[in-house]
Amino acid sequence: MAQATFYFPRGFLWGTATSSHQVEGFNLNNQWWAWEQQEGRIVNGDKSGPACDWWGGRWREDLDRAYEGGQNAHRFSIEWSRIQPTPDKWDETALDRYREMARWLRQHNMIPLVTLYHFSNPLWLEEKGGWENEAVVNQFSVFARKVVEAMQEYCNLWITINEPNVYTAFAYLEGVAPPGKKNLGAAKQVYTNLARAHAAAYHAIHEIQPIARVGIAHHLRGFFPARRWSPLDHLAASLLHNGNNRLFMDALVSGVMRFPGQAVKIPHAKDTQDFIGVNYYAQELVRFNLLNPAGVLDEHRFPPGAEAAASKLIANIPEGMFYWLKWAKQFEKPIIITENGIDDSQDRLRVRYLIQHLHQVWRAVNFNFPAKGYFFWSLGDTFEWERGWTQRFGLWEMDPQTLKRSKRPSADLYAEICHENGLSSEMVARYAPELFAGMFPN
């Protein structure tokens, strides 16, 4: 039997990712909490409630588990509504809690990767139009300054905005997230303001902390023609790729956001990434439906043979990881995989998913792609937005009723990988023997 280990570079970041509203609990002052209270908004009528009780202090025990599991980094986010509960008030006590978390990570030789915005708005911001109102650009910049000034002693790795494309699509095109709109004009305004706000925050952070490394967590999802012979399928795939993957990225490279038929100049956004954050979960085949051209966005399916999660929202397509790391390489910046994972309450598919995706990351590193770290989504089960508690992404299972944590086999696998700084044939043989022959041929 072949024996080998796929080692990663020294200093490679191994971590997990979380976000404030999904883990803290009782975020009473943001738009998502208000949304959850409305009937029919969340699957099964679920509510975040105490979530994972991080605001109650249980972040320590969860991060202890990450530390004991060999992780040398953790990605978490700042809840804007806690730091700035009203337009004219800053809550220093809340800021101290985040500073304490960052200090704890540093004391345990773990690198904090801090996200400033992860989908949740203070109610006062939402009531003033949220991201549709251009005033948000300055408001977000002021918020970023406040956080960075307070936390710069412990943090120099920042994500300004998580998945601007997902936020815009869910909240302003599909209507499944607050404010629940389906308005293309509003979506374009929001997308533009997100780019402007990122740029303003980027420059503010570098004024305060010149050594900072600042980026965006981009949700990259492949769209490929289901029928290679069909020009309409190619067109649909191209439109989806440009709208989801290129539009925002191009604005941060060139300073121009090129909507179909309209170019919006954002000169201060040019070259405002110190690294490329890659959130990759899956990719899809796209078929143009001549009977329903307006429904092209819904004509998606996973490639034949791809193992799908029970939710049917994610599938195990590991070659997509290599594809997107190669795509990100063109921007000549360091790359951090800021999210990657799959919902799997039985923890069967997750083990294969993790092994195969990390194998693709290793391949990319050996092609000299500048991948510097990997953050698995997520450390434990979290409240998954409009899907409530129905999707389980955690290495650790959590019962939302009792808050009891239980280790899944994938947590042990990931711990071995982190401690080893590599993926070995022995690990694959024990956790997913069905993959062995393909990864370690004689």
Report residue 272 as tokens. Answer: 């405002």
Asked if 163 is an active-site residue, the reply is yes
Q: Distance (Å, rounded) from C-alpha 143 to C-alpha 325?
A: 31
Q: Nearest 5°: phi and psi at 188? A: -65, -40
CA 6 to CA 82: how far, in whole Å? 43
Which one from 24, 36, 126, 339 is the annotated catalytic residue? 339
User: Residue 386 corresponds to which tokens in the numbers above?
Assistant: 């409009």
C-alpha–C-alpha distance, residues 426 and 355, integer Å: 12
Residue 339 annotated to the active site: yes
The catalytic position among 24, 36, 126, 163 is 163
How buried is 46 (Cβ within 10 angstroms: 0-12 exposed, 13-18 middle, 19+ buried)?
middle
Judge contact between 339 and 391, C-beta under 8 A.
no
Q: Are 403 and 52 in contact (CB under 8 A)?
A: yes
**Annotated catalytic sites, by residue?**
163, 339
